[in-house]
A and B are shown apart, each in its own frame.
Chain A
Amino acid sequence: MRLGYLAGAFVALAGMVAALVFLAVTAAGAPRTVAAALGTDGADPPGLAVRRETAIALLTTACLRAAGIAAVPVIEPPTAIPDADLDPVAWAERWGFGVSTSVATPPGPPVVDVNLQAADRAGPAARRRYLTALHGDGRRLGCHESASEQVLGLRERILAPIAPDLARLDRAIEADPAMDAVLAAWQRCVAPVSDSPRSTRHDLGPTLLARFADRLGAVRASPVDLARLQATERRAATAVARCEVAYAADRAPVAATYEGPWVDRHRSTLERMRAAIAAAEAAWPTVSP
């Protein structure tokens, strides 16, 4: 009897340990941030930008044809960003804030729009009709806006039910007393380039932009002055980029104390939304190979 009792207790204890180990392993592998739970952490998957532009073009064309307008898909190339893959610090070292360094940036290749060309050739009435179908008339969305919203607004649309909760999560993190020290460290970090020991995260960007835009105006046509200004801008931008990296690292443990439990509470919802986003993206129209 006593032996049976001990055996039963042993089995129960072993089961509990196994359950705890299972839970610990599961929790360790489970996403602890909203972005990770939604599958949007890290870089965009290869080809996503092309798929978005293709879907917008095809949906727009289908909409125009449904409105009785002859149209062909005009698939935009993904937006051209120089050195798009560089990390923030490396990008700042090369491009600064993009103010004085963007002088002389060659434009992207022209995108031929055969639909608008045809509308221009067809006369004012046909052009008006085309533009109304494409861009709406003020009372309803046009085909482009509708397609664009359908594709680019996908994530926000699916996350809309939890948007207020996400906003509260953001506010809770920012209101944590530990964030005072994080912010103070950031202010000390950016002080050499911000001209103010109390720069806020809301005004630093506009202040720096305005400063370099003003200086650019004063440079006029001297290439030597421009090169000097660009060097100054690169130094300032690199300093700010490093401060941002440090800020993100300092903020992460504070945020984790709120975000981790929040994700745990909403895990099934987030997983459902992740699946819905993936399904909607998979349903986007594509061009046959």
Chain B
Amino acid sequence: MRRRSGGVVWLVGLLGVLWCFGGQVAAVGAAGTGPSEPCVPGTVWEDLSSGTKYMCVYDEMYGGPRWVLLGGGQAGKQAFLAKSSTLGCTLGTVGINRLNGSGADAFVRSYRWPCATTDDRAYQPAGELRARVQVQRYNGGWSTCRDSGFSYSSVTAWSWTVGLDMGGVADCGAGSYRAWGFADVFQGGAWRGSTLISPGLVLP
């Protein structure tokens, strides 16, 4: 197994795009006034007549908790709930940078609320970002063919990458392959994140 930290970022911006998307959903709500109820971070308030929902988050820039409107789509709501936190909305996510016959990379990036642009990137101390990539093969069932294991940031960083060079796959065999990326940021005493991007991997 050949592990590689750093490496060429093939899809620079994919993660940013995902985050911008989440940010846009959130930004809609930022303009709303919100309910008059006391705001306790993490709670959701729903206007039963319209179905409009707000969630209370702790906003570092605002300097305290505030209500934000949740997006209309169920998916958007889940994203926002998952990626907001009283810890400052700093979470990592993952993507696959490089994807071809020779392997795959996964990366993690850390953003601070509102997670909309690169200005919101949040630097983490050494050892508090980690990424991992696995390649699996299907032949009547999935088996892990390669696994980078978690690679931890060795310096203060807001982004970290791990790569896996496949070489040949004769030892894993013919079949359909897929790659998984995993990423976490250490926050509040625990590793959080592990969003995924899993494109089908075209091998060999």
Contact between A223 and B71, CB atoms less than 8 A apart = yes
Residue A235 at the chain B interface, CB threshold 8 Å: no
Cα A120 to Cα B201 in complex, Å, equals 39
Q: Kindly supply a per-residue 1/0 record for chain A positions 188-205, scoring 1 wherever the CB is within 8 Å of any chain B CB and 0 otherwise.
A: 000000000000011111
Cα A80 to Cα B180 in complex, Å, equals 10
Contact between A166 and B200, CB atoms less than 8 A apart = no
Tell me which residues across on chain B come within 8 A of A259, comparing CB atoms.
170
Contact between A152 and B11, CB atoms less than 8 A apart = no
- Knowing A44-B142, A152-B149 touch, does A209 contact B199 (C-beta < 8 A)? yes
Contact between B73 and A112, CB atoms less than 8 A apart = no
Tell me which residues across on chain B come within 8 A of A99, comparing CB atoms.
14, 197, 199
Residue A161 at the chain B interface, CB threshold 8 Å: no
- Knowing A174-B204, A226-B73 touch, does A88 contact B178 (C-beta < 8 A)? yes
- Knowing A44-B143, A148-B149 touch, does A159 contact B101 (C-beta < 8 A)? no
Contact between A213 and B79, CB atoms less than 8 A apart = no
**Residue from B79, B168, B182 in contact with A103 in the complex, judged by beta carbons closer than 8 Å:** B79
A197 to chain B, nearest CB (A): 16
Q: Kindly supply a per-residue 1/0 record for chain A positions 233-255, scoring 1 wherever the CB is within 8 Å of any chain B CB and 0 otherwise.
A: 00001001100110010011001
- Knowing A41-B139, A107-B192, A223-B73 touch, does A209 contact B144 (C-beta < 8 A)? no
Cα A120 to Cα B149 in complex, Å, equals 23
Q: In chain B, residues 147-176, which have Cβ atoms closer than 8 Å to a Cβ of chain A?
A: 147-150, 152, 154, 167-176
Cα A226 to Cα B138 in complex, Å, equals 29
Tell me which residues across on chain B come within 8 A of A84, comparing CB atoms.
142
Cα A145 to Cα B162 in complex, Å, equals 13
Contact between B143 and A42, CB atoms less than 8 A apart = yes
- Chain B residues with a Cβ closer than 8 Å to the other chain, count: 83
Contact between A237 and B200, CB atoms less than 8 A apart = yes
- Knowing A205-B99, A216-B18, A223-B75 touch, does A35 contact B171 (C-beta < 8 A)? yes
Residue B140 at the chain A interface, CB threshold 8 Å: yes
Choose the segment among A20-28, A90-98, A280-288 that binds chain B (4+ C-beta atoms closer than 8 Å).
A90-98
Q: Kindly supply a per-residue 1/0 record for chain B positions 187-204, scoring 1 wherever the CB is within 8 Å of any chain A CB and 0 otherwise.
A: 011111111111111111
Contact between A102 and B195, CB atoms less than 8 A apart = yes
Contact between A144 and B192, CB atoms less than 8 A apart = no
A196 to chain B, nearest CB (A): 14
Q: In chain B, residues 5-41, which have Cβ atoms closer than 8 Å to a Cβ of chain A?
A: 10-11, 13-14, 17-18, 20-22, 24-25, 27-28
**Residue from B10, B101, B176, B190 in contact with A88 in the complex, judged by beta carbons closer than 8 Å:** B176
- Chain A residues with a Cβ closer than 8 Å to the other chain, count: 93
Residue A289 at the chain B interface, CB threshold 8 Å: no
B32 to chain A, nearest CB (A): 13
- Knowing A79-B182, A209-B14, A217-B21 touch, does A167 contact B100 (C-beta < 8 A)? no
- Knowing A97-B200, A166-B170 touch, does A117 contact B189 (C-beta < 8 A)? yes
Cα A155 to Cα B24 in complex, Å, equals 45
A126 to chain B, nearest CB (A): 13
A124 to chain B, nearest CB (A): 10
**Residue from B79, B171, B199 in contact with A155 in the complex, judged by beta carbons closer than 8 Å:** B171
Residues of B within 8 A of A (CB): 1, 10-11, 13-14, 17-18, 20-22, 24-25, 27-28, 71-79, 81-83, 91, 96, 98-101, 126-128, 132, 134, 138-144, 146-150, 152, 154, 167-176, 178, 180, 182, 184, 186, 188-204
Q: Which 5 A-B pairs have the closest CB atoms?
A: A43-B141, A223-B73, A35-B173, A104-B79, A148-B149
What are 6 pairs between A and B in contact, CB < 8 Å?
Answer: A82-B196, A116-B127, A201-B101, A210-B14, A217-B20, A248-B174
